[in-house]
Amino acid sequence: MSSRFAVASLVAFASIVGCSQPSAPPRGTPAAPPAPSAGAAKPSSVPEPGVTGALQLTFPDRFIKAGEAYFSPDATQIIFQAIEVPEGEESPAEFYAMFVCDVVRDAAGDIAGVTNIRRVSPKGSANTCGWFHPKEAGKILFASTIGAPTAENAPGYQRGTSRYRWAFPPETRIVETDLGRANASVDSLKILEGDGKAYVAEGSWSSDGRHLLFCSLESGDGDLYVHDLKTGARRAIVTAPGYDGGPFFSPDGKRICYRSDRNRDNLLQVFVADLVFDANGSVTGIANETQLTSNEHVNWCPFFRPDGRTLVYATSEMGHRNYEVFEIVLPADMTEAPLRRRVTESEGADVLPVFSPDGRWLLWTGQRHEGRSSQLYVGRYRDQGSAK
């Protein structure tokens, strides 16, 4: 889950972030929208600054909580993590499983819901940070302990309050599998990163599929790495003090965004940096690192819009029990101050925002419905322009 860090002040959403940006999709085949589930939130009619028609996609009759979701490159599928409501008298799972679902569109091509939800992670494992391959249909990656994590390192479960304790199981590795192999059995998983000795997660492929961007705690701190899958080169590119995590490639693959506890004060800030390449096109480091937020709030889970100039992120600026989504418009000259403004405005936290590959839709994790469990929402992004 996109909580890729342990910050005591975070509400029930500390779920791990990290992935890159796929290319623009064709429209999906129109289909009849599914019937609403029990406890469904109605599409929002209240004007919000940067999103319209917020629609709930997952519901508490199926999932105790769901979050951190990403579109496939053609926008016909979504990958997300969740804990299912158990059958009969079974106890709920302690850990997040990884799921994939199909996107339902109406006759006009607008997103109307999801269907065909299926688990793709091994039973009993702890999972987070899913991502679709940008070029090879059906290939996905996610972070997984593969088997059950050790008890002393159990990840992010609730302990009688609305807040999470998020640990970092050293068994967590980044794995790859194919959706053609249902319920991803252990023998179907290919390990891309991690040796089971240090937490490795928050992974995503670059838009050309060549580079894997991820976070590792192998140094004892959260650092960002790039693995060139063509040459095998593996390099640490952000090793500043504090937990650096939740990285994403820009759509053109020339930049990354991420969040950092650079001051070690549990107040996360959003950064961007240019990538440096060698003559063969392999990432060797970063340059021109720029801090985009600097305040007394928790700012996290940044994600690029396909235009490459707009980022969305979640912030505690409105309170730790009502995180909201804000956006930053990057100036052409990075020495100038970026434009920052609010996107969501609703009771209940809104976090983990991501764009559809065409930039028309915003997908996020919210607590807008009765009961306030974490569930998935989607709405049409309202482009507020380059200036107020």
State residue 47's pLDDT score: 82
Which residues, in sequence order, are CB contacts of 317 under 8 Å at separation 6+? 295, 297, 299, 324, 326
Q: What is the pLDDT along the chain (388 residues), one digit of tens a residue?
A: 343 333 333 333 343 333 332 222 222 323 344 444 544 545 555 689 999 999 999 999 999 999 999 999 999 999 999 999 998 878 999 899 999 999 999 999 999 999 999 999 999 999 999 999 999 999 999 999 999 888 564 443 333 344 445 568 999 999 999 998 756 567 789 999 999 999 999 999 999 999 999 999 999 889 999 999 999 999 999 999 999 999 999 999 999 999 999 988 888 999 999 999 999 999 999 999 999 999 999 999 999 999 999 999 999 999 888 999 999 999 988 888 899 999 999 999 999 999 999 999 999 999 998 888 999 999 999 987 754 4
d(CA 197, CA 355): 34
State residue 150's pLDDT score: 82
User: Which residue shows structure tokens 């980044």?
Assistant: 174
4-22 burial by CB neighbour count: b if 16+ within 10 A, else e? bbbbeebbbbbbbbbbbbb
Q: Identify whether the C-beta of residue 174 lies closer than 8 Å to the C-beta of residue 142.
A: yes
Structure token pair of residue 235: 């390099």
User: Which residue shows structure tokens 């930053």?
Assistant: 328
Q: Identify whether the C-beta of residue 325 lies closer than 8 Å to the C-beta of residue 49.
A: no
Could you give the angle at the alpha carbon of 63 between the alpha carbons of 57 and 69, nearest 5°? 50
Could you give the angle at the alpha carbon of 322 between the alpha carbons of 317 and 323, nearest 5°? 55
184-193 burial by CB neighbour count: b if 16+ within 10 A, else e? beeebbeebb
Neighbouring C-beta atoms of residue 326, cutoff 10 Å: 25
Q: Identify whether the C-beta of residue 251 lies closer than 8 Å to the C-beta of residue 275.
A: no
| Phi/psi-derived region of residue 124, left when phi > 0, alpha when psi is between -120 and 50, beta in every other case | left
Rounded to 5 degrees, φ, ψ at 273 are -155, 150
Q: Per-residue DSSP letters for 189-203?
A: -EEEE--SSS-EEEE
d(CA 163, CA 321): 10
Q: Which domains does the chain have, with CATH numbers?
A: 51-381 (2.120.10.30)
Structure token pair of residue 201: 């997660």
Q: Identify whether the C-beta of residue 215 lies closer than 8 Å to the C-beta of residue 223.
A: yes
Q: Per-residue DSSP letters for 362-373?
A: EEEEE--STT--
